[in-house]
Structure 1
Amino acid sequence: MPVSTALLIAGAVMAVALAVGLIARAQDGRRRSGGAVRVSDEDLPNGRRTGITLVQFSTELCARCPQVRRLLGEIASANGIARAEIDLTRSSDLAAKYHVLQTPTTFLIDASGKVAARWGGVPDHGSITEAITTLRAASRTPRERQEQS
């Protein structure tokens, strides 16, 4: 194979790797829909949830998990909601069950366990707060909405 062809192939591979890396970086921390996923009470460390809950999936070797743990703690305290952390090192079966492909991954779940939003990587404070506000507004009864107007 001529050197020019080898250099051309190497350049193409590097360009594709760079593009994939930039796309992955742009997706990190972005809010996504929860789909039809529900988190069961048995999978939460403290058992039953009582309302809106932030759930963080982490591992022992996750470098960004402590940062997200502090962020979620602050947000949970400021908004009066619960927070739970699931260590996938000890419960690796839950990664497949909830389609968790990276740590940290954060779920915002409602009182029934339905995942309202999810973030892979380090989520943005404003994005989580906005999702909590949206979830609270959606869970109000029609009477509560009318009284607030």
Structure 2
Amino acid sequence: MTGVWALLGALAVAGAIGVLFKVREGRISRRDSSADSMDLPVPVRDLLAPGVTLVQLSTTFCAPCRHAKVILRDLADRTDGLTHAELDVTDLPDVAAQLGVMRTPTTLALTADGTEVLRVGGVPKRDSLLAALQPHLP
């Protein structure tokens, strides 16, 4: 009987962890506007364009990264002042660590001067992301 209770407990904990991950997927974190702009690594600085650049940090074998790429590229193609760039951090763990990236895909919205205005962990939700970016677009 103890084994049944242990199994039920393990299933409950696993279910709670799954719900937590689902809730956090695609959540937008806004940066404090009074915060200093971070010192960006060179590979990221080289990707910046006028307006807002969505820098997608991905890894080679990340399936959600491909889905995020489709959403971000389409959003950038349809929105003036918005650019999409992808950086594979598989071989650049120091870049990911410097940016505080713990998972892929992670998307950083950066202004032309390198100020981070928001970040998204996981696959972004198109409408929520566009609404959060509106104040920063021309």
Q: Tell me if both proteins adopt one fold, taking TM over 0.5 as the criterion.
A: yes
- Structure with greater proportional strand content: 2
Residue matched to 1:86 = 87
Q: What is the CA deviation profile of residues 22-60 of structure 1, one whole-angstrom value per residue up to 9, with x for unaligned ones?
A: 111111011112355636261327455333110100011
Deviates more, 1:76-85 or 1:128-137: 128-137
How do residues 1-149 of structure 1 correspond to structure 2 at under 5 angstroms?
Answer: 4-34=1-31, 36=35, 38=38, 40=40, 42-44=42-44, 46-80=46-80, 81-136=82-137
Distance 1:39 1:134, change over 3 A: farther
Relative contact order, higher structure (CA 8 A, sep 6+): 2
Output the CA distance in 2 between the equivalents of 1:111 and 1:45.
9
> Do the aligned residues in 2 keep the contact of 1:76 with 1:83 (CA within 8 Å)?
yes
Question: What RMSD in Å do the two structures reach over aligned CA positions?
Answer: 2.1
Q: What is the CA deviation profile of residues 42-99 of structure 1, one whole-angstrom value per residue up to 9, with x for unaligned ones?
A: 1327455333110100011011212211211111121122221111112111111112
Distance 1:124 1:109, change over 3 A: same
Equivalent position amino acid for 1:131 in 2: A
User: Identity of aligned pairs, percent?
Assistant: 31
Give the number of aligned pairs: 134
- TM-score of the pair, normalised by structure 1: 0.79
Q: Runs of 5+ in structure 2 lacking a partner? A: none
SS where residue 113 of structure 1 aligns?
coil
SS where residue 128 of structure 1 aligns?
helix
Distance 1:129 1:48, change over 3 A: closer
Structure number with larger C-alpha Rg: 1
Distance 1:41 1:49, change over 3 A: farther
- TM-score of the pair, normalised by structure 2: 0.85
